Structure 1
Amino acid sequence: MTSIMTNAAAMAALQTLRSINSNMAEVQNRISSGYRVQTAGDNAAYWSIATTMRSDNAALSTVQDALGLGAAKVDTAYAAMETSIDVISEIKAKLVAAREPGVDKLKIDKEITELKNQLLSAAQSASFSGENWLYNSNAAAVGTKSIVASFNRSGNGNVSVTTLDFDTAQSMLIDTADATRGLLTNSYDADQLQATPSGTPRLYHLIVAPPATPVAGSTEVKLTGVTTSAQLDDMISVVDKMLSKLTDSASTLGAITTRIDMQESFVANLMDVIDKGVGRLVDADMNEESTRLKALQTQQQLGIQALSIANTNSENILRLFQQ
C-alpha cells in the first residue's frame, strides 16, 4: 500500500542512516582519542583493569625516583668509603715505615695526623639530602636506612612496597656521641688480633672525635719519640683490622649499588610491559578504524541516497493527481 501519510521506506532509510552516523561518531572518537576503550561505558572490565594498571605505573614511576635518590646516597657513601680505605692503607704504610730503626717517628706522626684529618673530612663530606652514613654527631645512632625498591600488587589485589635496607653501623666511621659506634673511633684489642693472645688487653683507637671519649684504657694510634716496636706492631695490627672492616663495608655498599642498578632496569622494563598490556586492552587499532571509517562514509552516502529515493515516492503520487 502506498500512503502519503506514512512513508515506511523513508523511515527505514532514516533509521539506517542514524545507525550509520552513530557508528561514524564512535569511529571518529576512537581515531581522535586513540582509544578503543576510553570510558567505563565502552568496556567496564577493560577500563577498570587499565585504570588500575595506570595507577600502578604511576607508583612505579615514583619508585624509579626513589631508587635514583637511594643510589645517590649509596654512591656518596661508597665514594667516601673508597677514599677512607686509601687513607687507612696509607696510614698502615706509614706505621710500617716507622718500624724501621733510626727513622724520625715524630715526622711520620705529622703525616699520620694529616691523614687522620683527611679521614675526618671525607666522613663529614659524605652527606646527601641531609643523610650521612659515615659520620654521626647525634646522640642516637643513625640506624638502618631503607630505600624504596618496588611497588607490588598481589593476586588478591593487596599492595605493598619493597625496600632495600642497609644498617649504617656497618659503614659509620666516626661517631662524636659514642666512640664505640664508629669504625675509626672505636677501640680494638691488639692482643686479640695476635695468633696467640696473651690475655692482657691492649686497646687502640685511631681517631678521637670530641665530645665522645675513647674507651677507658684505650691508646690513640699516635707516634712519639719513645714509641716501641711492640707498640708499633700493635698499631699496625689494629689499623689492618680497621682496613678489613672498611673493605667489608665498601663491599656491601658496592653490592647495594649493583642491586639498585638492576632494580632500576627491572622497574623501567616492568613499566614498559604494563604500558604495552594496557595498550592492548584499550588502544584503538588505527588501521582497522580507518578502514571502518571509509566503509561507513560509503554507507552514509548510500543511506542518504536511499532516503532521497524514499522521499521521491510522495512526489510520484502527486504527479498521478496532477494528470
Structure 2
Amino acid sequence: MTSILTNTSAMAALQTLRNVGNQLSHSQAQVSSGLRVQKAADNAAYWSIATTMRSDKRAISAVSDALAFAAAKVDVAYAGTEAVSDLLAEFKAKLVAAKENGVDKTKIQTELEQLKQQIVSIANSASFNGVNWLNTDIADINDSDLNKISLTSSFIRNGGGVSIGTSDFHLSELALFNQNGGGILQADTRKMKTLGGIRNFDTFMDAFGVIQMDTSNTAIGFRAVKDFNFTGPLTFDPGDTIGFDVTVDADNPSDLDPPYNPGKTTHIVVDRAMVDALFPAANGTISTYSQYASLLNHALTQANSGALATTYVDYNGNPIIDRIGIQTRENSGLDGSAVQISNLDFSSVGSGSGLSNFLVYGTRGSQMTLNFTPFEVYMDGDNLDGVEMHFQFSVNGAPPTDHTFNRTYVNQLLGKSNGKIETSDEMVTLLQSLAGPDWPDVIIEAASPSAISVRSDKAVDRLSGGRTNIGFTQISVSIEPLAEQNFLDIDIVANPQLIDMYTGYIEVVSADVIGAGATLGALKKRIDTQTAFTQSLMDTIDRGIGRLVDADMEEVSTRLKALQTQQQLAIQSLQIANGNADRIMQLFER
C-alpha cells in the first residue's frame, strides 16, 4: 500500500540507519579506547570489578614503592654490619697480640681506640632517609612493644575488607648502639631483675669481670634458743642444788590456731654429785662459763629433756666468752619449737649465775615474702618461645619440684603478647600455675602491689623451728650470664688482667653482629621475593581486567567495517524510500 501520509519505507530505512549508527558509534568507541566495557552502562558487573581491581592495583603499586624503600634501608644496615664485622675481627687480633710478653699495651690500646671510633662512625653513618637501625634511640631496646619495626609488604583484600600486610622484626637483633643501652656492642639490658621476687637480686659483674647470679632464695626457720651471760663462779656444797622445769616444743599461739600443745616438761636437778662427776678436781666449784654450759647440758641430756646447753664462737672461730645458750633439740616428736625454764630454784647455791626463768619460741620458716618488681620475659633470637626460666621449689625439706616458664607460657597464661608480668596479681597467677598443682597446701597471694606472700597453710602444716623452710633453688635463666661489658669501655692498659675476658667478649659480640647480618640478609631476601610477587600480582591483575573489559580489536575492527557498509546501504535505502514520494507527486502534476 502506498500512502501520502505515511512513508513506511522511509521510516523503516531510518530506523535501520539509526540502529546501525548506534552500533557503529559503540564500535568506534571500542576501537578508540580499546575497551569493551568503558562505563557502567556497558556492563555494570564487569565495570564494577574492573574499577575495584584498578584501585587495588594502585594500592599494590604503593606497596611496591614501600618495599623498594625498605630494601634500601636493609641494604644500608647490612653494609654497616658487614663492615663492623670485619673491624671486630681486626680488634680481636690486636687483643690476642696484647697477650704477648713485652708488647707495648699502650700503643695497642691506641689502635683499639681508633677501631672503636671507626665502628662508631659506621654505626652513625648507616642511615637512609634519616632511618638508622644500627644506632637507635629506644627507651628500652628489649621492650618488644618499643623495638618493633614494621615494613609494608602486601595489600590484602578479603571478605572482611582490605588490609595491609607487614613484615615485622625487632631492632634488638640489629642495633649496635642504643642511646639508652642494650645494643649489641653495649652491656645487655635484658635484665630479668628479680624474676618478680623469685630471686633476691639481679645479675651483676664484680670487679674481676665475673657475672654473679642469684640461684637461691629461701626462708628457713630457727629452733628456739635463749642466750644468757655467765655471771660468776658457783660453789655446790653437799646438799646444794639448782632445780628447774624445762619445757620444750610447745606450740606458739601467735603462729597457730588452737588447740595448742603444751610441750614436753622435764624436771631438772643439778647437785654436788653431778659437779664432782664432771669436774672431780673442782671441789664443787664451777668457775668458767664453759664448765657451767657442760654441767647444764649434762643435766638436760641425762634427763632426756629434749633441750641442750651450748657455747658459741664468732665468725672467725674465736669463743664468745661467758655466752651460754639453752635451746630445744626439736626431737620430742612434737610440731612446735620452744624452750622454757620455769620454777627455777637456786636458793641453796645463792645464784643461777645468769640462768633465769624464760620462754622463747622458734621461728616458722615455711613462709616468705617476695619483693615483687615488674619484668618482661624477652624474646630470644630464633627461639620462638623466648627466654626460659627454671627453678625448684620445696617446703620443709620435702623433695623439690622442677618448674619452667618462658615467654610463650606467660603470654598464653595471662592472655598477652608482650611477655610482661606487670602486677603482683599476675605474678601470683604465674606462681600458682607452676607450683600450685604440686603444692596444694601452699598459699600464694598478693600482700600488696609490691609484695607476694608464699607460705604453707597453717591449718595443715603446724611445724615450726629449724625443721621448717620454704623457697626457690636452682634458679636459672637461659640467656644468663648476660654481657655486662660495654665495647667502648675496653681498656687493656687500665685492666690488663681482663684481656682474656675482653677476647671472649669480642668473640660473643662478633657472633651477634654476624647474626644481625644474617637477619638483614633474610629480611632482604623476603623483601625481594615479595617485590617480585607484587610485580607479578600487578601484571596478573592487568591481565584479569583485560579479560573482563578489553575489546577484541580484530573482532571490533571487522564489525566496524561491516557496520560502515550497513550504514551506506541504510542511507541508500532511505534515499530510495524518499524517492517513491517524488513519483507520487508527479501523478498530481499531470
The TM-score, its normalising length taken from structure 2, stands at: 0.49
Q: What is the deviation of 1:282?
A: 0.8
1:186 alignment partner, SS class:
coil
Q: Per-residue CA shift, 1:202-228, capped at 9, x if unaligned?
A: 9762434xxxxxxxxxxx321117713
1:223 alignment partner, SS class:
coil
Q: What is the deviation of 1:112?
A: 0.7
User: Aligned partners of 1:250, 1:87: CA distance in 2, in Å?
Assistant: 14
Q: What is the deviation of 1:150?
A: 0.2
Note if contact 1:135-1:172 (Cα within 8 Å) is conserved in structure 2. Answer: yes
Q: Aligned runs of 1:1-323 on 2, under 5 Å?
A: 1-137=1-137, 139=139, 141=141, 143-154=147-158, 156=159, 158-177=161-180, 179=181, 181-186=182-187, 205-208=485-488, 220-224=489-493, 227-228=496-497, 231-323=498-590
Q: Per-residue CA shift, 1:146-172, capped at 9, x if unaligned?
A: 100000111x25211110111001111
Amino acid at match of 1:77: A
Note if contact 2:138-2:147 (Cα within 8 Å) is conserved in structure 1. Answer: no
The unaligned stretches of length 5 or more in structure 1 are 193-200, 209-219
* Counterpart position of 2:453: none
User: Aligned partners of 1:63, 1:290: CA distance in 2, in Å?
Assistant: 38
Q: What is the deviation of 1:233?
A: 1.5
RMSD: 2.0
Note if contact 2:187-2:483 (Cα within 8 Å) is conserved in structure 1. Answer: no
User: Aligned partners of 2:153, 2:483: CA distance in 1, in Å?
Assistant: 41
Q: What is the deviation of 1:138?
A: 5.4
Amino acid at match of 1:241: V
Q: What is the deviation of 1:265?
A: 0.6
Amino acid at match of 2:173: Q
Note if contact 2:177-2:184 (Cα within 8 Å) is conserved in structure 1. Answer: yes
Note if contact 1:204-1:235 (Cα within 8 Å) is conserved in structure 2. Answer: no
Note if contact 1:67-1:147 (Cα within 8 Å) is conserved in structure 2. Answer: yes
Answer with 273-282 or 131-140: which moved more: 131-140
2:154 alignment partner, SS class:
strand
Amino acid at match of 1:176: Q
* Counterpart position of 2:300: none
2:487 alignment partner, SS class:
coil
Bigger radius of gyration among the two? 2
**CA distance change for structure 1 residues 203 and 36 in 2, over 3 Å: closer, same or farther?**
closer
User: Aligned partners of 2:533, 2:482: CA distance in 1, in Å?
Assistant: 50
Q: Per-residue CA shift, 1:168-210, capped at 9, x if unaligned?
A: 0111111232x3x111121697757xxxxxxxx89762434xx
User: Aligned partners of 1:58, 1:105: CA distance in 2, in Å?
Assistant: 62
Answer with 36-45 or 123-132: which moved more: 123-132
Answer with 313-322 or 263-272: which moved more: 313-322
1:101 alignment partner, SS class:
coil
User: Aligned partners of 1:32, 1:203: CA distance in 2, in Å?
Assistant: 71
Q: Per-residue CA shift, 1:101-124, capped at 9, x if unaligned?
A: 222111111111100001111111
Answer with 166-175 or 310-319: which moved more: 310-319
User: Aligned partners of 1:150, 1:283: CA distance in 2, in Å?
Assistant: 27
The TM-score, its normalising length taken from structure 1, stands at: 0.87
Amino acid at match of 1:131: V
Q: What is the deviation of 1:80?
A: 0.8
User: Aligned partners of 2:583, 2:137: CA distance in 1, in Å?
Assistant: 103
User: Aligned partners of 1:276, 1:317: CA distance in 2, in Å?
Assistant: 60
* Counterpart position of 2:319: none
User: Aligned partners of 2:25, 2:38: CA distance in 1, in Å?
Assistant: 14
User: Aligned partners of 2:548, 2:137: CA distance in 1, in Å?
Assistant: 55
Aligned residues with identical type, % of pairs: 49
1:310 alignment partner, SS class:
helix
Note if contact 1:206-1:239 (Cα within 8 Å) is conserved in structure 2. Answer: no
**CA distance change for structure 1 residues 204 and 92 in 2, over 3 Å: closer, same or farther?**
farther
User: Aligned partners of 1:264, 1:276: CA distance in 2, in Å?
Assistant: 19
* Counterpart position of 1:198: none
Note if contact 1:9-1:310 (Cα within 8 Å) is conserved in structure 2. Answer: yes
Q: What is the deviation of 1:130?
A: 2.0
Aligned residues: 299
User: Aligned partners of 2:21, 2:564: CA distance in 1, in Å?
Assistant: 9
Of Structure 1 and Structure 2, the greater helix share is in 1
1:3 alignment partner, SS class:
coil
User: Aligned partners of 2:22, 2:136: CA distance in 1, in Å?
Assistant: 70
User: Aligned partners of 1:122, 1:204: CA distance in 2, in Å?
Assistant: 23
1:32 alignment partner, SS class:
helix
User: Aligned partners of 2:541, 2:160: CA distance in 1, in Å?
Assistant: 16
Note if contact 1:20-1:300 (Cα within 8 Å) is conserved in structure 2. Answer: yes
2:107 alignment partner, SS class:
helix
Of Structure 1 and Structure 2, the greater strand share is in 2
Amino acid at match of 2:505: V
Q: What is the deviation of 1:320?
A: 3.3
Q: What is the deviation of 1:291?
A: 0.6
